[in-house]
Amino acid sequence: MSAERGDGSFSTQIEAAERRLDEAARLASEAEQRAEAEIRALEADLEKMRAAGDRDLEQLRLAHEEDLQRAREAKDRAIATAEERLSEIEAQADSAEQRIAAAEERAQRAETTLANEQARAREAAAAWLRAQLDAIRREAERR
């Protein structure tokens, strides 16, 4: 009987060990399932975060492109305005050059007219002096 008892005690221990093993296997399986579920949830969260990051990056890229486009347009407008102003200044410079040329031409004509008037005045003065000399000579001849 003691052998049976020893066998019975041993088999009871084996059964208890098997129950503990089954319980540990069940707990391990449940833990594995929870870990897999948590991994899937983390992967889903990661994918959502990646998608959100991609959306944010695309929005930033689009905003940057819009900013660049606005900057290009502003630069183009500034260049067009500067070119227009330069054209106005060149037109004013051309007009000023024409006025200067006309003024120089008028000054040249005035100088020529003045020189002609001075020559006529000298000629008239010379003629008057000759007339005076002739008058003095005639009077001197009469005496």
DSSP-assigned states of every residue in 87-133: HHHHHHHHHHHHHHHHHHHHHHHHHHHHHHHHHHHHHHHHHHHHHHH
Look up residue 136 and give its two tokens.
Answer: 């003095």
Q: What is the tens place of the pLDDT at every residue in 66-95? A: 999 999 999 999 999 999 999 999 999 999
Least confident of 4-13, 61-70, 134-143: 4-13
**pTM for this entry:** 0.48
**pLDDT over threshold 80, residue 16:** yes
- Sign of CA pseudo-dihedral 73, 74, 79, 80: positive
pLDDT tens figures, 90-131:
999 999 999 999 999 999 999 999 999 999 999 999 999 999
For 26-39, the pLDDT digits (tens) are: 999 999 999 999 99
Name residue, tokens 């060990």. Answer: 17
Whole-number Å distance between alpha carbons of 80 and 95: 22
Tokens for 126?
């010379």
pLDDT given for residue 108 in this prediction: 94
> Where do the structural domains in the chain lie, given as residue ranges?
1-108
